[in-house]
Structure 1
Amino acid sequence: MESPDGDTIDCVHIAHQPAFDHPILKNHTIIKTRPSYDPDWIKDENINMNASKSFTQLWHSNGKCPKGTIPIRRTKKEDMLRASSLKSYGRKNSVSRQSTIDSEFVDVTKDHEYAIATFNIWNPKVQRQDEFSLGQLWITRGSGSDLNTIEAGWQVYPGLYGDSSTRLFIFWTSDGYQRRKCYNLGCPGFIQTNNEIALGGTLSPTSQVDGSQYEMTILIWKDRKEGDWWMKFGETVVGYWPASLFTSLRESASRVEWGGEVVNLKSDGHHTTTDMGSGYFPQQGFGKASYIRNIQTVDESNTLRTPESLQTYNPENSCYDIVMGMNDNSGSQFFFGGPGLNPNCP
């Protein structure tokens, strides 16, 4: 079906999705569409931040996929031509992840199996089609070529999607962003079990400066019985990453990170003008700056809690910055972002 944003969404039989092209998953069978354990996070209905406005994926306005199928955003010829090669299409640049991350993270001393956060959704300006801007959470373990990550959030990436819309995305790697890495359903890996959410699909509307704020919540957790990593978007279970995709993440995670990331190619000999978050510095606060709140992890008693000893990392605070905050009801939160190039950021 055609989406108002120009996407074409195909309803593909759940057993014929790209995941099963992976050699490891050739004999994988979807036994269930939900995990054996579905944790509940701390509810926050009493929080009043003038946020939590409703939003949708634009393709929903023209229909829905029937039971037994999943929605997949169709890859067009022009999508392939935008990539430098077919091999690189939909791949995340390892250098950008390691050098431009602006995140808040917590190191955990015990095995970690859950992470959750609420993001407000923006539509940042991106200078070049091969640069991107995003807000997400990372679940990681390992280092170097054995680094495993699971990532999810919102993103503006013209080089991948062909436009400047804000989109829901997932990403994973099992070899430190070298060869085994993938966005959305762009290669075999993630198994989708839901017929309502299109990974890579447009999120609309987005937050406005001094206006309505739109939020989404993402929960990623490990099914203790099967060992797979499941993802929930709002109240909807989307699907899972089979444990067999990973090396170090087969057991558990060792670190969780939340924050923003941009690619800074310095194409004109100076810092990019690509926005992080709303494009406003975090000191501008609610209504202007991008935020992540309701940050929770699970402790050794399998209870979701606000993590302690949060640390911030920001390589260029004159270009982008981060300010921590605390709200007794919503758990840890912080504001982040900035405009990139400015008089103090050459």
Structure 2
Amino acid sequence: MGEMAMSRGLRLKEKNIFWGMFFIILIHGIVDGKLINREKLIEINKKLKQINRPAVKSIQSEDGDIIDCVDIYKQPAFDHPALKNHTIQVSLSLPPPVAILLSQGTAYLGAQGDINVWNPYVASDDEYSAAEISLKNGPYDDFESIESGWAVNPKVYGDRRTRLFAYWTTDASKKTGCFDLTCPGFVQTSKSIALGSVFDTVSKIQGAQYQISISIQMDTNTGNWWLKYGGQNIGYWPKSLFVGLSHMASSVEWGGEVKSSHIGQTHPHTGTDMGSGRMVGVGFGFDCFIRNIRILDNSVTWKFPTYSFPYTDEYYCYDIYYQRYGVTEPEFYFGGPGYDEIRCP
């Protein structure tokens, strides 16, 4: 690990964020100059009016995003009916000993990992590529899920830059599914880390490698699921959003995801990359990885998962390699280029 370069973080100035407020990123692309012009302010106000969020102050980050400071109790989360009388939890409380009786499986109360950061090619605006950690509960076709990592998602963010994201759904994304603060649900508490922020550095093949540390943990006092980036609390998904996940997660996943309508029986297959865009085979410096994999179970102790296995549902197009032997710390690599005339037609 000594040779690995660590990500310098998100392009966001903490000094511009007021205590007691949170912020919404409005994606407009690069804006010339340091001042926000009149046309841009009109556009911002229209968006704020749509979500009924009067901005206390608007600032521009170094990468061109417009950041609006909003009263913390007027953030979109509180439009959700389940959060009508919700009181914001300031920080993750220390978990007491717990006892959970299960008929089968394991109760997961948290997961974490270090995710290698890349900027994969995304073929069309309605597709996205992500690397993430997710905790789930429920049947295969109707599960609840909370997820976080990095993504290139033109439809949500309006560009093809790599950004920090959070996501949740209560029905396997059939009718529900929400990125960041684009709908009521996730409660942001951080005044220095914005969901949707751009990573100022990404990994290059045979070049410097960058990674981010993501952690999701249930507060067993409240049942809320806390999201951490680099050890800092961003906010939480309230217990009241869920049914199964209000008690525990029944599975944890680490890896890559490509969302496209051109997958499976559709030809040609999408050309959207996963990870570095290379089929796995060389390893560090070429392939996207996740390291320092840990789960938190009902023993309330972070540990490497005893039962884990690699899986990919498009193995001709995207590959995975799980390295458990000959290394001090188990890790796995994943990725691929999608469409290929021979392997992935």
- Shorter-chain TM range is 0.7 to 0.9
Report whether the alignment pairs 1:171 with 2:200.
Answer: no
Aligned partners of 1:327 and 1:333 also within 8 Å: no
Secondary structure of the residue that 2:164 maps to in structure 1?
A: strand
Kept in 1, the 8 Å contact 2:223–2:239? The answer is: yes
Letter in 1 for 2:77: A
Cα pair distance change 1:145/1:211, threshold 3 Å: closer
Superimposed CA distance per residue, residues 187-238 of structure 1 (whole angstroms, 9 cap, x where no aligned partner): 0101011111111111111111111111101110110111111111112111
Query: Distance in 2 between the 1:140 and 1:311 partners?
Result: 16
Larger radius of gyration: 2
Distance of aligned partners of 1:237 and 1:329 in 2 relative to their CA distance in 1, 3 Å threshold: farther
Secondary structure at the residue paired with 1:198?
A: coil
CA positional deviation for 1:281: 1.6
Cα gap change, 1:181 to 1:142, in 2 (>3 Å): same
Match for 2:293: what amino acid? I
Is the contact between residue 2 and residue 8 of structure 1 (CA under 8 Å) also seen in structure 2? yes
User: By percentage of residues, which structure has more strand?
Assistant: 1
- Equivalence for 2:221: 225
Q: Distance in 2 between matches of 1:328 and 1:38?
A: 35
1:345 is aligned to: 344
**Partner secondary structure for residue 294 of structure 2:** strand
Q: Deviations over 1:34-63 (max 9, x none)?
A: 111279xxxxxxxxxxxxxxxxxxxxxxxx
**What SS does structure 2 have at the residue aligned with 1:283?**
coil
- State which of 289, 292, 298 in structure 2 corresponds to 1:291: 289
1:119 corresponds, among 115, 118, 121, to 115
Q: Within 5 A, what are the aligned runs for 1:318-333?
A: 318-326=316-324, 331-333=329-331
Counterpart among 55, 59, 64 of residue 6 in structure 1: 64
SS in 1 for 2:234: strand
Give the structure 2 partner of residue 82 of structure 1.
Answer: none
Q: Distance in 2 between matches of 1:125 and 1:5?
A: 20
- 2: CA distance, partners of 1:277 / 1:145: 25
Match of 2:77 among 16, 19, 25: 19
Which of 22, 28, 33 is 2:86 aligned to? 28
| Structure 1 counterpart of 2:178 | 182
**CA distance in structure 1 between the partners assigned to 2:325 and 2:158 by the alignment:** 38
Question: Normalising to structure 1: TM-score of the pair?
Answer: 0.76
Aligned to 2:38: none
Gaps of 5+ in 2: 1-58, 97-103
1:240 — aligned with what?
236
Q: C-alpha distance in 2, partners of 1:36/1:233?
A: 17
How far off its partner does 1:174 sit?
1.4
**Cα offset, 1:301, TM superposition:** 2.0
The alpha carbon displacement at 1:255 in A equals 0.4
Contact 2:193/2:234 (<8 A) preserved: yes
Alpha-carbon distance in structure 2 between the residues aligned to 1:319 and 1:225: 43
How do residues 82-161 of structure 1 correspond to structure 2 at under 5 angstroms? 109-143=105-139, 146-161=142-157
| Structure 1 residues 143 and 295: alpha-carbon distance in aligned structure 2, compared to 1, 3 A threshold | same
Report how far residue 145 of structure 1 moved: 6.7
- Superposed CA RMSD: 2.0
What CA distance in whole angstroms lies between the structure 2 residues aligned with 1:200 and 1:6?
Answer: 13
**Inter-partner Cα distance in structure 2 for 1:242 and 1:272:** 36
How far does the alpha carbon of each residue in 1:151-187 deviate from its partner, in whole angstroms, 9 at most, with x for none? Answer: 1010001121111100000000112313332110000
Amino acid paired to 1:119: I
* Count, aligned residues: 277
Alignment correspondent of 1:272:
270
The letter for the 1-side match of 2:309 is Q
The TM-score normalised by the length of structure 2 is 0.76
Residue identity matched to 2:92 = P
Aligned equivalents of 1:301 and 1:14: distance in 2? Answer: 34
- 2: distance between equivalents of 1:237 and 1:203? 18
Cα distance in 2 between the residues matched to 1:11 and 1:330: 44
Report the equivalent of 1:310: 308
Shift of 1:144: 5.7
Structure 2 counterpart SS, 1:111: coil
Higher relative contact order (CA 8 A, sep 6+): 1
* Contact kept? 2:144, 2:168, Cα under 8 Å: yes
The answer for the alignment partner of 1:250 in structure 2 is 246
Q: Which residue of 1 aligns with 2:94?
A: 37
CA distance in 2, matches of 1:235, 1:304: 14
